[in-house]
Structure 1
Amino acid sequence: MNRPPRSVLPLALGFGAIGVLHFLRPQFFDRIVPPWVPVSPRTATLVSGAAEIAGGLGLLHPATRPAARWGLLALLVAVFPANLYMAQHPEKFGTPPWVALARLPLQPLLAWWVSRAGR
């Protein structure tokens, strides 16, 4: 198997690690699911965690990298409302408002990285 490009490794590791955290410490992720999401917070947490793990692993192999790219881009769009909800209500999460707001522009940067790495 060819080694993945260097830019892919931290991305794959990051998505994998965050995905695992969804299973090890789901309470945090449950809390940031906006109340209007049509599934239970735990379901949203577990599904998004599994998608992050699968996407991170998918980036590691050239044959699965394009599918991982599209899956992770879709995931980033799907979880953006949770980041927005957290930014709108930082007091509910014990997060300084500036931290919650600073996370929002990171989403497009992460999407750009995923798009480049998944080619």
Structure 2
Amino acid sequence: MSSDVIDGLQLALRVILAVVFIGAGIIHFLPSVQRTMAAMIPPRLRTAGWTNPTNLVLFTGLCELAGGFGLLYPPTMLLAAGALVLFLAAVFPANAYAARHKKRFGRIAIPFVPRLIAQLVLMALIVVAVI
């Protein structure tokens, strides 16, 4: 495969990933989504004293927006990709908490193993999009 084709595929993947992260970042600012996401933060993080669940949700929304836009701007795409991979690792405990509390979170409580696999695949796609 020629380098032009590979470059084109990587660009397409970066655009798709950017749209996903920008969209996810935007929904963090909807009040109903904020309440649900704040509830997903594991209790030990909520009671750490230095965290406010709603502020964490807003912060993660900003991280997703910055990462998504960063993937679209060549001078920042490597930094953005690295930050998004770390971000996905950092938010995984909230997803794991939700997975353990299916009755409380309903359909957003994706079972642990499929969620872990999806998270790892997403991390790999981010890396592939920028290398």
The alignment's TM-score, normalised by the length of structure 2, stands at: 0.81
Q: Does 1:94 align with 2:106?
A: yes
Q: Whole-Å Cα distance in 1 between the matches of residues 42 and 23 of structure 2? A: 23
Q: Are the aligned partners of 1:69 and 1:115 in contact in 2 as well (CA < 8 Å)?
A: yes
Give runs of aligned pairs for residues 34-113 of structure 1, distance below 5 A.
34-37=42-45, 38=48, 39-95=51-107, 99-101=110-112, 102-113=114-125
User: Paired residue for 2:14?
Assistant: 8
Cα RMSD, aligned residues only: 1.8
Distance 1:63 1:85, change over 3 A: same
User: Paired residue for 2:4?
Assistant: none
Q: Whole-Å Cα distance in 2 between the matches of residues 44 and 96 of structure 1? A: 18
Q: Going by fraction, where is helix more abundant, 1 or 2?
A: 2
Deviation at 1:103, TM superposition (A): 2.1
Deviation at 1:95, TM superposition (A): 2.7
Structure 1: runs of 5+ lacking an equivalent: none
Q: Does 1:27 align with 2:27?
A: no
Secondary structure of 1:105's counterpart equals helix
One-letter identity of the residue aligned with 2:35: Q
Kindly, what percent of the aligned residue pairs are identical?
A: 34
Q: Are the aligned partners of 1:68 and 1:118 in contact in 2 as well (CA < 8 Å)?
A: no
Moved over 6 A (4+): none
Q: Deviations over 1:46-87 (max 9, x none)?
A: 111100000000000110101101110110010010111111
Deviation at 1:96, TM superposition (A): 7.8
The alignment's TM-score, normalised by the length of structure 1, stands at: 0.89
Structure 2: runs of 5+ lacking an equivalent: 1-7
Aligned length: 116
